[in-house]
């Protein structure tokens, strides 16, 4: 006979917990994503196994593996939880009011400076939602990390995700006046090759490619950077300290240019702008909180300070 407590347990919660365990890779990761404790997750798994009368996961100290029953249960559980969420949305969809937690990842610099205002708009527009806003430059493993969507700056090569082109970020070449005073004046784009360089390693590391604004002509040359970093803020700081020339997003140095702390070099030549994408995994169901966030990003991103409407074509669907 099944345990009466197990029978009375919310089965959707049990199935959802099981899906999170499988997709996150561990009980502790599932607990973190669900904002609960590991013992709670463990109890839910035990209850589900008791309810089904089957062992779903083989667990050792350092390893977790689905049993054959567990694999079948996972496939059913994913479909059932998606259908349940679809049912909830459908019954509450008179106004399509988003509810719940939206988990978003964004690049460090862009995410903490340029995107907070749109997040405020979203939260004011949909007061029943909450946002977990994590700043991390690499594209997430959406399932394992429990992320709903990501703002991504730069090209997208992963065909397994939906990629919506939202805007572009212009990039310019800048240097501190103290550094420029040590070298002959920069009059032609070729003069840039004589200067010491900094590198923003996630976008350029050993060569610089610039395009003429009017003719479309391009100029390409190698560099041996004095300092390389994956942080836009670190490269900006190094440029301010006169350590080298940098190719950076225009928005991050706007005030420095106005105050004369940095100077733009060869303004007729710029690096190709960086595309800004909204990424999320393919799924048969998307909750209202994600659908509305996508709509808001499409609306506001091209108008955010430091971005411009995209000039390139969206990435073809895979």
- CATH number for position 130: 3.40.190.10
**Does residue 254 share a domain with residue 190?**
yes
Domain count, the chain: 3
Report yes or no on 178 lying in a domain. yes
Residues 182, 264, single domain; the answer is yes
Regarding whether 255 and 176 lie in a shared domain, the answer is yes
Q: Are residues 174 and 214 in the same domain?
A: yes
Domain membership of residue 4 (yes or no) is no
* pLDDT computed for residue 96 by the predictor: 64
Tokens at residue 139, please?
A: 């594209």
C-alpha distances out from residue 36 to 30, 43, 180, Å: 9, 12, 55
Q: Look at residues 274, 291, 312 and tell me which one is the last residue of a structural domain.
A: 274
Q: Rounded to an integer, what distance in angstroms lies between the CA atom of residue 283 and that of residue 86?
A: 12
Cα 16 to Cα 80: distance, rounded to the nearest angstrom? 9
Query: In this structure, what CATH number is given to the domain that contains residue 247?
Result: 3.40.190.290
85, 125: one domain: no
Report the DSSP beta bridge partners of residue 222.
Answer: 207
Element (H, E) at 52: helix 38-52
Q: 107 and 156, same structural domain?
A: yes
Which tokens in the block code for residue 16? 């959802």
Cβ contacts of residue 192 below 8 Å, gap of 6+?
Answer: 173, 186, 208, 210, 221, 245, 265, 266
Whether residues 181 and 244 fall in one domain:
yes
- Residue 74 makes CB contacts below 8 A (sequence gap 6+) with 18, 19, 22, 66
1 part of a folded domain: no
Same domain? 85 vs 110: no
Look up the pTM and report it.
Answer: 0.70
Is the same domain home to 174 and 269? yes
Contact 64, 45 (CB under 8 A): no
For residues 274 and 305, give the distance between their C-alpha atoms in angstroms, rounded to a whole number: 14
The segments of the chain whose pLDDT lies below 70 read: 1-9, 60-62, 86, 88-96, 137, 284, 312-318
Output the pLDDT for position 90.
Answer: 63
Q: Is residue 84 part of a domain?
A: yes
Of the residues 40, 59, 92, the one at which a domain ends: 92
* Domain containing residue 27: CATH number: 1.10.10.10
Domain boundaries, position 30: 11-92
Nearest to 14 by CA among 36, 59, 46, 38: 46
199 and 228 belong to one structural domain: yes
Do 86 and 49 belong to one domain?
yes
- Are 269 and 212 in a shared domain? yes
Does residue 3 form part of some domain? no
Bridge partners of residue 163, in order along the sequence: 279
Q: Is residue 33 part of a domain?
A: yes
- Domain C-terminal end among 43, 69, 92: 92
């Amino acid at each position: 006979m099944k345990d009466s407590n197990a029978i009375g347990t919310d089965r959707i919660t049990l199935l959802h917990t099981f899906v999170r365990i499988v997709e996150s890779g561990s009980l502790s990761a599932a607990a973190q994503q669900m904002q609960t404790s590991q013992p709670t997750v463990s109890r839910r798994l035990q209850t589900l196994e008791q309810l089904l009368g089957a062992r779903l996961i083989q667990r050792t100290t350092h390893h977790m593996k689905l049993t054959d029953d567990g694999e079948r249960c996972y496939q059913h559980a994913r479909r059932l939880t998606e259908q349940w969420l679809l049912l909830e949305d459908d019954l509450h969809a008179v106004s399509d009011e988003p509810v719940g937690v939206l988990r978003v990842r964004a690049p460090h610099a862009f995410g903490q400076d340029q995107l907070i205002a749109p997040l405020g708009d979203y939260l004011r527009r949909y007061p029943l939602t909450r946002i977990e806003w994590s700043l991390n430059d690499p594209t997430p493993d959406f399932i394992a990390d429990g992320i709903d969507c990501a703002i991504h700056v730069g090209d997208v090569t992963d065909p397994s995700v939906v990629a919506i082109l939202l805007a572009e970020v212009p990039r310019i070449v800048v240097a501190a006046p103290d550094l420029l005073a040590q070298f002959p004046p920069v009059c032609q784009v070729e003069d840039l090759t004589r200067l010491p360089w900094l590198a923003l390693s996630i976008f350029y590391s050993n060569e610089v490619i610039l395009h003429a604004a009017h003719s479309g002509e391009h100029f390409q040359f190698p560099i041996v950077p004095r300092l390389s970093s994956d942080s836009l803020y670190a490269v900006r700081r190094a440029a301010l300290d006169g350590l080298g020339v940098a190719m950076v997003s225009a928005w991050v140095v706007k005030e420095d240019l106005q105050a004369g702390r940095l100077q733009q070099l060869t303004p007729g030549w710029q690096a190709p702008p960086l595309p800004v994408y909204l990424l999320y995994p393919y799924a048969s169901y998307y909750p209202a909180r994600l659908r509305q966030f996508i709509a808001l990003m499409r609306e506001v991103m091209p108008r955010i300070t430091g971005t411009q409407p995209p000039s390139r074509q969206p990435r073809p669907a895979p």
